[in-house]
Amino acid sequence: MLKHVVSAYLSLRRVGGFQLEQDEGLLLSYARYASERGEDHVRATTAIDWAGQSKSMRARRIRLRILIRFARHVRAEDPGHEIPPDHVFSAPIRRRLPHIFEPEEIRRLMEAAGNLSPEGSLTPRTYQTLFGLLASCGLRVSEALSLKVEDITMDGLLIRETKFRKTRLVPMHESTERALKEYLRWRQEAGGATGHVFVSPQGEPFTYPAVSRTFQKLLQAIGLHENKGQPAPRIHDLRHTATVRSLEGCPPDQVANHMLALSTYLGHSKLANTYWYIHATPHLMVGIADACARRSQIEGEAP
């Protein structure tokens, strides 16, 4: 019985564009666990016992949070469901601070990518173009690796049904567009059965593990694998960098509108998700200080 309720819940939320792969696995796991206890409704005690099976505090918290969201939904139709208490597993969720790449660091990364072996092959050009695209357009790595040749249009990159099952058009700067067109001329010579933009010399699509390993190798080559005791930058930090640089170039009086456009550009389903990509840089802090000074001056001149 509970399994059917879970399936109906997942189907309804997926209509709204959510993929819910993690939710599905965990909720079905809870449904089996509850059924073994002879229960066909969410019970708080059972929920805590089930969530407590995970080894880490963080995993327990995630399990319980997903189940609470489910319980709140189904209880609206059936008061027989109980909503488990929150904060039972109170391990704090710490978000890792991203590395915001300086323009010089990106230049060195691209230069190192161009020196990859085998010299003169498609590999160095592929990595140069891939990392440049991530840094300039703020794509998710999975989105870039999924790009097909036909997704490159005159109006930009067509990003098909990704994280939130949304399809969006991502405009490119003229320099990015020129670099991509130049790469595609080399890409055509590789051929292969796949129509993916980024391929190996054998014509096979690039995989995330291979790209991530090469990214870390290049960071070591340019001396960015360690940063004052912080973990090495991640490839996903290029997306953070593109977001921050975009906001830096925004006129102060257009920030609100720019944030809405930026959220759509990044493919976020909620504006709040975009805020996680915004981080303080000297340029942004100067802009904030100037805005505060202007506001203070205006208020001081008011009668």
CA 167 to chain centre: 15
Query: Cα–Cα distance between 237 and 153 in angstroms, integer?
Result: 26
Query: Cα–Cα distance between 140 and 295 in angstroms, integer?
Result: 37
For residue 153, the SS3 value is strand
Query: Which of 186, 192, 128, 197 lies closest to 158, judged by CA?
Result: 197
User: Using an 8 Å Cβ cutoff, are 81 and 71 in contact?
Assistant: yes
DSSP class of residue 150 equals: G
State the catalytic residues.
140, 163, 236, 239, 268, 277
For tokens 């891939």, the residue is 130
Task: Report H helices in 169-281.
Answer: 174-190, 208-221, 237-248, 255-266, 271-275
For residue 289, the SS3 value is helix
